[in-house]
Amino acid sequence: MWKRVLIMAACCGLSLALNGCAQPLQDMIDRAALRALFGLPAGAELVEYQGFPSMVGFGQREGLRLRAVYDLSQAEAAAFLEQARDGGWQPLPISAGLLRHIPFREFPVPLDRTRGLFVCRTAGDQVLHPARTVDCLEVRHLNDLIFGVFDSVERRVWIGVQAGY
């Protein structure tokens, strides 16, 4: 009997310890995925990050919403600008047609910027680790959104990733 109680107590303690470590680890993985997905320079300074859900349950990411803001040095901004154009980023401003196509209200990036570049992609699933993405206007209904805005004067990149599943 005591052996069973000790095993259960050890399992509960381990579970609590792992859950306490799970979210910081998940945030670290998500931030690395965002850098790779958007082609950000290694030295880009993360100035803001928000991730939802605040807890990860059994590997599920339903309702995933991530927001990150990065500042770039002058040299990083110049390199990023060149790389981003080759990677499908388009000149700002964002067209009214695309803005109407975005299904998520209160999307966490500034959609009204006029200087720089933006990118809008969708993956269909696996939004942070997609095998393939397509331009947002190439699909009728957006289930997820991979969106970035780069202000070339402020040298700031805003990123929003949101899943509607």
> Which residues on adjacent β-strands are paired with residue 119?
148
- Position 130 scores a pLDDT of 83
- Position 22 scores a pLDDT of 62
- Position 57 scores a pLDDT of 52
- Position 12 scores a pLDDT of 41
Round to whole Å and give the CA distance between 23 and 152: 33
- Position 147 scores a pLDDT of 92
- Position 9 scores a pLDDT of 43
Indicate the burial class of 37 (C-beta count within 10 angstroms; 0-12, 13-18, 19 or more).
Answer: buried
Block mean pLDDT (10 aa), the chain, length 165 = 47 46 78 92 94 60 84 96 91 92 77 93 81 85 88 95 79
